[in-house]
Amino acid sequence: MEVWFPDLKTLFLPESLELAPEILSELLEQEKRNFYAKLEISDDKISFETFQDSSILDYYFGILEHYQGVHSDDTIRKIIEDFEPKYIDFWNEISYSQRYFEMLKICLKSWGLDLEETRIITKSIEWFEVRGIDLSQEKQTQLKNISKKLSELSQNFSNNVVDSKKEFEYNIEDESIISEMPDDDKQAAKDRAIKKNISWYLFDASQGAYMSIMKYCSDSQVRKHFYEFRHKVATTWKHDNSPIILEILKLRHEKAQLLGFNNYAELSLKFKMAESPEQVIELFSDISNKAQSKSKAELDEIRDYFDITDLQIWDLSYYANILRKKKYALDDRELKKYFEFEAVLQWMFEITKKLYGIEVKKIDQESYNQDVSIYEVYKDGTFISYFFTDYFYNELKRPGAWANILREKFEENKKITLNVCNFQKSENGQTLLTLSDVETMFHEFGHATHEMLSRSKYSELSGFHVEWDFVELPSQLLENWCRDSSGMRIFAKHIETWEWVPEEMFLKLEQLENFGSWEFVITQNTYAMMDMWLHSITPPSSVQELEDFVNKNYDDNASFVRGEVYSPHTSFTHIFDGWYAAGYYSYMWAEIIEKEVWKAFKDSWDIFSPEVAEKFHDMVLSAGTIKKASELFRDFFWRDVEISAFLSEKGLA
């Protein structure tokens, strides 16, 4: 087969990048000309094909964006920053093009569209509709004004959080109270102090510093101080987010109603798997009740073990951490010796071969750095996609891990999926991964398989385009095979002794995973419920009303007595300056549905059950978004989402 993988090495040479701005401008002009020409097509000539042109601009810009992700130096950043606004402007022009919208509607009515084509056109029409294209000129203007105001308010919200956090710092002089803290964390606190020209250890309001204090600082009063600050961020007169929240909620509600929805939560769920705010609230209330009863037992265990009668919320992480270490002492350095990078990678490919019948073959092609590997992926002997990996940390790479598509269109075998991670590479050859690295590797490959295995010939219906509360299903699901003892038994061999992971270690890992799981579940749940309720009700009209609401939500869902200081909403950037408004539930939702599928494998007594794997492949994975996610789920289970599998996997049943 002819290799049709782009020569990324050449594309990213300085002399090539020098030409990038000009190429981008030309491609954009070309794209605009094509678009305006399309608008001139007469009604009787409109067909499905009218909307099916692959964009070289998207492809080229995607490649450059990838490079920015893995090698973010000034050159590439400037290229992207200069071009992006022009690109967005053009997109906005398209999304308010009345003629284009009309054309889509004509196409939908035309004769002979098959199911997939109908779904693609319907989805496009809906996308235009929620942007308000169908509204009167007056209402459109209103909508645009709301959007503008909302983006200003969100920006102010975030600024207040940042500025408010900046005002916090805490100097610890008594080293004995942080003696249990890991050296890295202490060093970070020391570095902070040096920067400010003071002695001792300086802690700020960053997530890392906060977690470190809550887990390792032995002084309860210090923990209390941090906890209380954390729960009053952006509440002072100087940086007060409460009035901003009231305004945001009001405007979102107005926006939803302009677009014909009862409230903002309904608008948000329009493109998600969850069918209504009520469905989410009902399932999450059940989880909340179960987690609360589990919490009582574990809290009692902590009180008994340390003989504390008055356990406060800021004491919890500290004592839980000590207990966890005492009960399940697990040597992370020893565990790593079972996860040699190359071996784990080969076994991951082996596992997905067993499950989905895909074969991954490395090809010999140079790329932009030595750590990049390029593969061809086959299913039942047929090429389905290129897959390339850029697994190791370098200082110019964006933190985290992700899966992406470089080229979507199927024709001529050109699809490219990729995984990027930030694993620490060993200098002396053999790289050992932590269990969490292994999970990340499986997770991202799960995303990649969702895309590679999509059977529709249209990229609009592939795995990466599903509802976003459904998109984590294949990735989180695949993680189970590296964590489950029968999965881990296949690949995890000690690098020196060649022994399997001992039974006792498995047991500890399993118990460790569920220890304190209720705390995480309750916290996530309380946030998710606050978010969903706030966007479902008539917006509160005063700060007092808002506070009463937030407090009641805590009392209904949490298991600890609320502290005097409690204001989590004023720093909740996920929903007030982010994409998660009436969508915070999706983190846990993804886990709920993933545990359901995993349970189907476990119930068959074989985590490689060919029947279950085939059913999952055919009905969910390869279906991409040919149907709505809720329908795919029903095809697989013959029922709606339930929480029993989630509860039992989390040890909360």
Contacts with Zn ion by CB under 5 A lie at 472, 475
Compute the least distance from the CB of residue 506 to Zn ion, in Å. 25
Task: Please give the C-alpha separations between residue 340 and each of 56, 163, 248, 608, in angstroms, as whole numbers.
Answer: 40, 44, 49, 23
Compute the least distance from the CB of residue 590 to Zn ion, in Å. 8
Nearer to Zn ion, 444 or 577 (CB): 444
Strand 169-172 relative to strand 372-379, pairing: unpaired
Nearer to Zn ion, 356 or 506 (CB): 356
Nearer to Zn ion, 203 or 464 (CB): 464
Cα–Cα distance measured from residue 100 to residue 303, given in angstroms and rounded to the nearest whole number: 65
Compute the least distance from the CB of residue 447 to Zn ion, in Å. 6
Nearer to Zn ion, 484 or 594 (CB): 594
Compute the least distance from the CB of residue 56 to Zn ion, in Å. 28
Which class for 459: exposed (0-12), middle (13-18), buried (19 or more C-beta within 10 A)?
buried
Strand 169-172 relative to strand 201-204, pairing: antiparallel
Helices (H), 371-466: 435-452
Cα–Cα distance measured from residue 647 to residue 456, given in angstroms and rounded to the nearest whole number: 35
Compute the least distance from the CB of residue 583 to Zn ion, in Å. 15
CA nearest 554: which of 542, 563, 545? 563
Compute the least distance from the CB of residue 420 to Zn ion, in Å. 12
Q: Indicate the residue whose CB is closest to Zn ion.
A: 475
Q: Which long-range contacts (CB under 8 A, 24 or more apart) does 88-95 make?
A: 90/28, 90/31, 90/32, 94/35, 95/127, 95/128, 95/131, 95/133
Compute the least distance from the CB of residue 542 to Zn ion, in Å. 39
Nearer to Zn ion, 233 or 448 (CB): 448
Cα–Cα distance measured from residue 48 to residue 66, given in angstroms and rounded to the nearest whole number: 31
Nearer to Zn ion, 242 or 475 (CB): 475
Cα–Cα distance measured from residue 614 to residue 598, given in angstroms and rounded to the nearest whole number: 14
Compute the least distance from the CB of residue 400 to Zn ion, in Å. 10
Spatial neighbors of 29 by CB under 8 A, at least 6 apart, are: none
Nearer to Zn ion, 263 or 475 (CB): 475
Compute the least distance from the CB of residue 475 to Zn ion, in Å. 4
CA nearest 626: which of 13, 120, 177, 40? 120
Nearer to Zn ion, 417 or 559 (CB): 417
358 neighbors 382 (Cβ within 8 angstroms): no
Nearer to Zn ion, 60 or 402 (CB): 402
